[in-house]
Structure 1
Amino acid sequence: MSRASFSARRMQGLSLIELMISLVIGLIILLAVVQVFSASRTAYQLSEGLARVQENSRFAMDTLQREIRMAGHFGCTNDQAHTLESLSTLQSTLDGAANPGLDFMRSIQGYEATGTEPGKTLTLAATPATGGTAYTPALPTAISSALTNRVDGSDIIALRYLMPDGVPITAIGGTIQKPVYTFEAARWSVLRSGVTNPGLFGVADCGSATVFQASAVNATTGTITFDTVKLNGSRTFSNGYMLGQAMLYRAESAVYYVGYDATTKQSSLYRVRFGAAPNGDLVASSPEAMVEGVENLQLLYGQDRSLGARPSGYIDRQGTAKAVQESLPSDIGLAWRRVGVVQVGLLVSSPDPAAARQADSNAALVSMGVTYTAPTDGRMRAVYQTTVALRNRLFGN
C-alpha cells in the first residue's frame, strides 16, 4: 500500500454510528454529573438550613434565658423577698398604671395570644399577619403601640429588673424623701451599662429597694438627684438608705416578642425597651431585631404552690398567662410575683428554602402543647423548648 493511500484512510474520520455512540456516552456522563450536582445541592441546602435553624435557636434561647433569669433582681435580695415582710420594702416612684412599660412592681408579665393555649392548632401563613391578635391579659395601649410589627398568634413577655452590676453609694445628701446620691464618677460606665443617657435607676440594700426616675444626673461629679418631676409625679421616697450598704443600679424594662419585617420578609425575635432620660418623658425604643428566623413564641408559667404572703418553694402550678392572671384576681401583682419558672417554646425556620421535602415533617411541630401547621414553602423548621428558673425567685436565695 502506498503512503498516499494510507494517509487517505486515516483522514476519513468517524462514522455516523460512532458519532452517535459518542454523543450517547457523553449525554449519560452529563446526566450523571447533573444528578450528582443536584444531590449535592440538596444536601447542602438541608445542611445549611439545619445549621441556620440550630444557630438561630441557640442565640434566641440564650437571649431569653439570660433576660428571664434576671426578672426580680432588686439588689442583694429579690423582689419576692423584699415583699415578704412588708410591701413597703419594695417601692417604685414610677406610676405603673399610667406607664405600663415601667410597672416595676411586676418584674415579669406575660401576655397570652388568643387561641394559642395548649391543645390548640395554629396555622402559619407564608406572610404572617401582624397587629390583630387579642391577648389575655389585654395588652396595654402603650405596649401595643410600641410593638408595631408583632406577629399574630405569638406570646409576649415583659421583664423588669435592676441591672446586675451596680456601684456603691459614697455619699447621701438631700432628704429621705428627696435624696441626692453620690457615687464614684469613674464608674459611671458601669452604672449606665451601655445606655447613652439613662434616667431610670434603682437604689437597694438588703432591706429595701426603690426604683425612680432621676431629675438630674451629673456624670462628671458622680451625682444622681431625685425630685418629684415627670414620671415620678408627686411620689417621693419612703425608705431611707445607709452608706456602706446601699448600691445604685440602672433600671431595665424590656418586652420580647416575635415581629415581622416586611422589607426582608423575615420573622425575628424582637425587643422593645422602655426608658426615659433624666427628667424626660417615657420613651419606647424602636423595635430591635435580636435573632432572625424565629416564627413563633409560646410561654407557660410555673407558680409557687402558695399564693399567700409567703411562698412555699414548691412550683406545682403551670399554665398560660391567662391562668396566672386568674389564679389570684384580688392581687394580680402577687400572682405574678409567685412565678418562679418560665417554659419557653420557639418555632424557628431557615431564612431560605432548604428542600421541598422538608414540608412533609411540619405536621410534627408542637410547642408547649400548640400544634403548628406550617406553609409549604420549603423552609427548614424545628421547635426548641426549655425551662428557665428565675434565679432571683428561687425561694431562700
Structure 2
Amino acid sequence: MIKAPDVRDIARMGKAQLGLSLVELMVALALSTTLIFGVFTVYLDSSRTSQVSNALARTQEAARIATDIMARDMRMVGFQGCADPDDVTLNVIADNPPTDDFFETTLRGWEVTDGTWANGTEFDGTAVESNAKVGSDVISVQRGETMGIELVGNMKADNANVQLKGDDVERFAQNDIVMISNCEAADLFRISSQPSSDTWAHGNNVNSTNRLGRAYTEDARIMRFSSSVYFVADTGRDDVQGNDIFALHRQINQLDGTLLPPEEIVEGVENLQIEYGELLATNNVRYRPADQVGSMSSVVALRIGMLVSHSDQVRDDNDTADYALPGETITGASGGGTVTHPEDRRLRRTFVSTVMLRNRD
C-alpha cells in the first residue's frame, strides 16, 4: 500500500529548493572563469609550441634539402670519368666553350661585397651578379654528368663520327656540348650535325677542329657538361612584417652552353658562407674564404654554412642574436656587424657541413 507523503516532508522539500545565494553564485562563476582561463592558456601554449615546432622542422628540412643538392654537385667537382683531372687535361675544341681551362674553372668562389663581384667572368652583367645578396657567397661548380649513353663501336679515326646508343641520346640536339673521355684522354666538343639516334658529328663549323684528342673505343664514357652556380637572392616575396624572404638559387648551363634563368631551390636561406679547404705542402688542410685561397686547384674540401629562417613570426621577441658561420658572423641589424640579419620574430638556425671533393688528392 502506498503511503501518502507527510505535509511536513513537503514543506521541508520546498525550503531546500529555494535557490542559490549571491555568494554561492559568485563562487561558481569564479571557479568557472578560472577553469575556462586555464583551458584557454593550455590551448594557446599548445598552439605556440606547435607553431615553433613546425617552424623548426621546416627550417631543418630546408637546410637538409639545400645541403644535399649542393653537396651532390660539389663532391663531383672536376669529374671527367675515370680520367684523373690532375693527370689528364680536358681537350676543349668546342666553339664558345663554357671553359677554356677545365682544371682551373671546375671550382670557383666569390665573396659578394657589391654588385660588381663578377667582373671578368661569364656572370658579369647577368642576373646572378645583380641578384646575389651582398654579404653572402657565390660558388661555381663544373663537372661531367654521367648519361645513359654508350659507344657502339670503336672510332676508326679521331675525326670520325661518334656511333652510340642509349636512352639519353634524345636529350641532345645540334650545337649541344658533349664531354667524352676514357682513363687516358678527355674531350669537350659540340655536336655539329642534327643528331640521329646513333650518330654524332663534331665538325669544325661549331668546333675549332673536327679532330678529337684520340679515336675513342667502346670503353669511353659520354657525359653532359654540367656547370652550376649557387647563390642567395631575394625571392621578391615578403613576410607578414614586410621583411624580404631570401632563398638559395641556382643557375645552370644548358646543353648548348647558354645560361638558364636562375631558379629558386629552397626558401628561407638568408646567407651562404663557404670556406675552402686548401691542401698545404705539409698535407694539412687549411680552411679559408674564397678571396684568401692560394689556388682553387689545391682545394680538397668545402665547409658550407647557411643561416636559414622560417617566414612565420613565431618568436616572442625580436631576434638580436649573432650567428657564427664559416668565415663570417651574422649579427642583428643593430649589432654593428659587417653582415647582418633583420631583427624580427622569425626563427633562425645555422647549419654547417663539410664536403670532401672526390676528384681532388
Q: 1:24 to 1:107 in 2, by over 3 A?
A: same
Residues 367-376 or 138-147, more deviating? 138-147
**Which residue, 284, 290, 301 being the options, matches 1:321?**
290
Verify the 8 A CA contact 1:166 1:250 in the aligned structure 2: no
Q: Distance in 2 between matches of 1:296 and 1:78?
A: 34
Post-superposition Cα deviations, 1:256-286, rounded to whole Å, max 9, x if no partner, equal 1112211365322211111244xxxx42222
Taking a change above 3 Å as real, the CA distance of residues 3 and 352 of structure 1, as seen in their structure-2 partners, is same
Residue 342 of structure 1 pairs with residue 341 of structure 2: no
Contact 2:289–2:327 under 8 Å retained in 1? no
Amino acid at match of 1:286: P
Residue 266 in structure 1 maps to residue 242 in structure 2: no
What is the CA distance between 1:219 and its match in structure 2? Answer: 4.7
SS at match of 1:46: helix
Cα distance in structure 2, aligned partners of 1:29 and 1:150: 54
Q: Which residue number corresponds to residue 301 of structure 1?
A: 276
- Give deviations 1:287-337, integer Å, cap 9, x for gaps: 22222221111111122335xxxxx9x35343222123xx3xxxxxxx332
Across the two proteins, how many residue pairs are aligned to each other? 338
User: 2:309, 2:221 → 1: CA distance?
Assistant: 43
Matched, 1:167 2:149: yes
Give the equivalent residue in structure 2 for 1:85. Answer: none
Question: Is residue 192–residue 205 contact of structure 2 (8 Å, CA) maintained in 1?
Answer: yes
Q: State the match for 2:266 in structure 1.
A: 291
Q: What residue is the counterpart of 2:108 in the other structure?
A: 109
Alpha-carbon distance change, 179 to 339 in structure 1, aligned in 2, over 3 angstroms = farther
Secondary structure at the counterpart of residue 161 of structure 2 = strand
Which has the bigger relative contact order, CA under 8 A and spacing at least 6? 1
Conserved in 2, the CA contact under 8 Å of 1:217 and 1:223? no
Provide structure 2 residue ranges, at least 5 long, that are not aligned to the other structure: 1-6, 239-243, 332-340
Q: How far apart are the structure 2 equivalents of 1:251 and 1:38?
A: 54
Instruction: Return closer, same or farther for 1:351/1:197 CA change in 2, 3 Å cut-off.
Output: farther
Deviations 1:222-244 (A, max 9, x none): 222212345x4x35545113313
- Tell me if the contact between 1:171 and 1:183 (Cα under 8 Å) persists in the aligned partners: yes
Aligned-partner Cα distance in 1 for 2:45–2:101: 55
Give the 5 Å matches for 1:71-220.
71-82=77-88, 89-94=89-94, 104-105=102-103, 106-114=105-113, 132-135=114-117, 138=119, 140=121, 142=123, 144-147=125-128, 149-165=131-147, 167-171=149-153, 176=158, 178-184=159-165, 187-189=166-168, 199-220=176-197
2:293 matches 1:352 = no
**Secondary structure in 2 matching 1:385:** strand
C-alpha offsets along residues 354-395 of structure 1, whole Å, 9 cap, x if unaligned?
3225726x22x100131112323222211111221110113x
Q: Is residue 44 from structure 1 mapped to residue 13 from structure 2 by the alignment? A: no
Q: Distance in 2 between matches of 1:321 and 1:351?
A: 30
Residue 367 (str. 1) matches residue 325 (str. 2): yes
Q: Distance between the aligned counterparts of 2:313 and 2:194, measured in 1?
A: 51
Identity of aligned residues (%): 27
Alpha-carbon shift at residue 9 of structure 1 (Å): 4.3
For 2:100 and 2:344, the matched residues in 1 are separated by 40
Question: Residue in 1 aligned with 2:199?
Answer: 223
Question: Given the alignment of the two structures, is residue 392 of structure 1 paired with residue 352 of structure 2, yes or no?
Answer: no
Match of 1:35 in 2: 41
Superposed CA offset, 1:174-200 (max 9, x none) = 852x4411112xx132x67xx575822
8 Å contact from structure 1 (residues 102, 253) kept in 2: no
Give the corresponding residue for 2:70.
64
| Unmatched 5+ stretches in structure 1 | 83-88, 115-131, 307-311, 328-334
Counterpart amino acid of residue 292 in structure 1? E
Paired amino acid for 2:345: G
- SS of corresponding position for 1:391: coil
CA deviations 1:97-120 (Å, max 9, x no partner) are x66578644111111222xxxxxx
Matched, 1:241 2:215: yes
Q: Is the 8 A contact 1:202 1:210 kept in 2?
A: yes
Distance 1:154 1:139, change over 3 A: farther
Are 1:302 and 1:319, in contact at CA under 8 Å, matched by a contact in 2? yes
SS at match of 2:302: strand
* Aligned AA (1:154): S
| Gap change, CA 1:352 and 1:181, over 3 Å in 2 | same
Q: Is the 8 A contact 2:279 2:286 kept in 1?
A: yes
Q: What TM-score, normalized by structure 1, do the two folds share?
A: 0.75
Kindly report the root-mean-square deviation, in angstroms, between the aligned alpha carbons of the 2 structures.
Answer: 3.0
| Counterpart position of 2:334 | none
Describe the SS at the equivalent of 1:42: helix
- Structure 1's 101 and 154: CA in aligned 2 closer, same or farther, altered over 3 A? farther
> Structure 2-normalised TM-score?
0.82
SS of residue in 1 equivalent to 2:19 = coil
